[in-house]
Amino acid sequence: MANEIKKFPNPAPLGLAGFALTTWLLSMVNAGWYSGEAMGMVLAVALAFGGTAQMIAGVMELPRGNTFGATAFTAYGAFWWSFALFVLFLHDKVPASFVGWYLCLWGVFTFYMWLATFRSPKVLQAIFFVLWITFFLLAAGEWMGSAAVRSAGGYAGLVTAVLAFYLSAGEMLMETYGREILPIGLGRTAAMPAMAR
């Protein structure tokens, strides 16, 4: 018993699900499917699942030695917390152009995180690719005051959420059955979870 190797649990399914669910809810508002009256539910999920659960997943990546997973989950958990706090307390006090910069800088961060996924499963690459486009579209929507561009960012966010849900399910099934059930684009060299690369 003392010689058993401790296997740290894979937090990627949790973190990806928290990100996916919260992104889907907000993106429905951004796409124009729902009005701002729906934001109360978005904020509740942003604080509890998108923010807190992702931060827990990020901390769980640390003993696994996964710099990418720890950075991604902790950062996007902090994004959801900052977003919720902004909407709750500062929304009417910050110029739209400044909100555009907030979204643009998240796009910059997401862009270089995407560059770090090139040796990872294809689905993870796709998530970060669509996500940086989402942030830049939302930033442009704020700068231009364009509902159409903001809506385009919402639809890109919906695609991002679907991809993240898919990868969460793929990771969960891989952990459960010890093999790839849903194809996530592991490639020849892959035998480890997607966020662990």
pLDDT for the residue 7: 76
Query: Cβ(165)–Cβ(39) under 8 Å?
Result: no
Spatial separation of the C-alpha atoms in residues 113 and 196, rounded to whole Å? 14
Burial of residue 9, with CB atoms counted within 10 A of its CB: 0-12 exposed, 13-18 middle, 19 or more buried:
exposed
pLDDT for the residue 192: 38
Which pTM value belongs to this model? 0.90
Task: Give me the tens of pLDDT residue by residue for the chain, a chain 197 residues long.
Answer: 445 456 788 999 999 999 999 999 999 999 999 998 999 999 999 999 999 999 999 999 999 999 999 999 999 999 999 999 999 997 788 898 999 999 999 999 999 999 999 999 999 999 999 999 999 999 999 999 999 999 999 999 999 999 999 999 999 999 899 888 999 988 543 433 445 44
Domain ranges of the chain: 12-180+191-195
Q: Measuring CA to CA, which residue among 196, 106, 195 is closest to residue 157?
A: 106
Residue type, 141: G
